Amino acid sequence: MRLDLGDVQTILVGFVAALAVLLVIFFLAGIDEVMTTLSMADGRVIVLVAVVALGWLFAWSMSLRTVLGVLGIRITVLRSFFLYAGATFANNVTPFGQAGGEPFAALLISRTTNADYESSLGAIASVDSINFVPSISFALVGVAYYATVLTLGDTAVMIALSIVALAVAVPTVAVIGWRKRDTVELTIATGVVRVVGFFARFVPPVSPTTKPAVVHRLRGFFDAIERVAGDRRKLALSVFFSALGWLLSSVSLWLSFYALGYTVPFAAVLFVVPIGSIAGVAPLPGGLGALDAALVLLLVPIAGVSVATASAAAVIHRGATYLLPILIGGSTTAMLEADNASTGSVRSD
């Protein structure tokens, strides 16, 4: 799994843009005030934040392992953790978050488990889809708490309406798309053939493809998703691990405030984390900068803290949930690829 020069340049440009966004956030928050707030953080609690973040990563890796098991792909718990760490690494260094990292993550899964690429892509896409259910559920619980205990402000009302709209719109679009998947397959295939054909005229390594070939791969992808949806027991188990991951991610943000000496309502972080994660689809590596800005913008009115405090807490939380997976995922991806290469050379012999 190699990146060409174009991929590297895209990633570098993305990180430069993300750093620029972060600098703007810290400038508006007051860099000196943010640094002063961070300097007062309790180091022991920060270590706990990192441990909780590892728990989040492990929970979602178990969700992936469960989905792979439905597809007949058996891997150990440790290997599933390495695989999901690698998938998270891919999401965090490519633009558009999961949308940009999924193809790389599917390729890593395919090469490591010897599964076909379509099934691997269906597995990681299924995990991402499963993650939507508890994220919206937790967000609605947070909104319900504020609606019954506190008076919702204008910002909170807008967020509540957005959550309800997402809870209705996303499943509706998914159901319609699934029922009309034959039409969706043909539409996507037509677009892919045209795009690939265009690039094939100017980029020598790219070869034109055909509509039947694309449809064949898409059906393999949809078949994998259908198999996952059909095993209700394993699906429920995967949703449980996903919910546990979201809960631990929320705990990570709550502890980030606690490390700074602030105790914020847990209901606040319970729906700020999943709703803020929507900013991860921005054309920046893993949503870096965009997601951080979303967290700050949401936390200030909802948690009732200053911009500097929210920014400092976001730095600690994102350090654990963004940088830590990059370090672990980058290392494990290199290890898995080295193992894949050595296994491949043995097979060739």
Q: Going by C-beta distance under 8 Å and a sequence separation of 6 or more, which residues neighbour residue 107?
A: 1, 117, 120
Of the ranges 85-99, 100-114, 196-210, 261-275, which one carries the lowest mean pLDDT score? Answer: 196-210
In angstroms, the CA 113 to CA 120 distance is 9
Name the residue ranges covered by the structural domains of the chain: 5-348
Is the confidence at residue 246, as pLDDT, over 90? yes
For the stretch 22-26, contacts whose Cβ atoms lie closer than 8 Å and that sit 24 or more positions apart, written own/partner, are: 22/288, 22/289, 22/292, 25/289, 25/292, 25/293, 25/296, 25/311, 26/311
Of the ranges 29-43, 105-119, 155-169, which one carries the lowest mean pLDDT score? Answer: 155-169
Question: What is the pLDDT, as a whole number, of residue 206?
Answer: 54
Q: Render pLDDT for 73-107 as a digit per residue (tens, 0 to 9).
A: 889 999 899 889 988 888 888 776 555 677 788 88
In angstroms, the CA 124 to CA 172 distance is 21
In which band, very low, low, confident or very high, does the pLDDT at 178 lie, cut at 50, 70 and 90?
low
Instruction: Report whether 37 contacts 260 (CB < 8 A).
Output: yes
Is the confidence at residue 348, as pLDDT, over 90? no
From start to end of the chain, where are the E strands?
Answer: none
The more confidently predicted of residues 279 and 131 is 131
Is the confidence at residue 168, as pLDDT, over 80? no
Q: Going by C-beta distance under 8 Å and a sequence separation of 6 or more, which residues neighbour residue 337?
A: 1, 108, 111
Quick one: tokens of 289? 């900068």
Quote the distance between the C-alpha of residue 230 and its chain's center: 24
Question: What is the pLDDT, as a whole number, of residue 162?
Answer: 66
Question: What is the pLDDT, as a whole number, of residue 152?
Answer: 54
Instruction: Report whether 264 contacts 54 (CB < 8 A).
Output: no
Phi, psi of 160 (to 5 degrees): -60, -45
Q: Render pLDDT for 296-347 as a digit per residue (tens, 0 to 9).
A: 888 888 888 899 999 999 999 999 999 898 999 888 888 877 766 665 544 4
Question: What is the pLDDT, as a whole number, of residue 159?
Answer: 61
Instruction: Report whether 26 contacts 311 (CB < 8 A).
Output: yes
Quick one: tokens of 308? 């500097």
Q: How many CB atoms lie within 10 A of CB 263?
A: 8
In which band, very low, low, confident or very high, does the pLDDT at 220 lie, cut at 50, 70 and 90?
low
- Predicted TM-score (pTM) of the model is 0.80
Phi, psi of 127 (to 5 degrees): -60, -45
Residue with tokens 């959550």: 163
Question: What is the pLDDT, as a whole number, of residue 43?
Answer: 92
Is the confidence at residue 9, as pLDDT, over 80? no
Cα–Cα nearest to 142, from 1, 327, 298, 293: 298
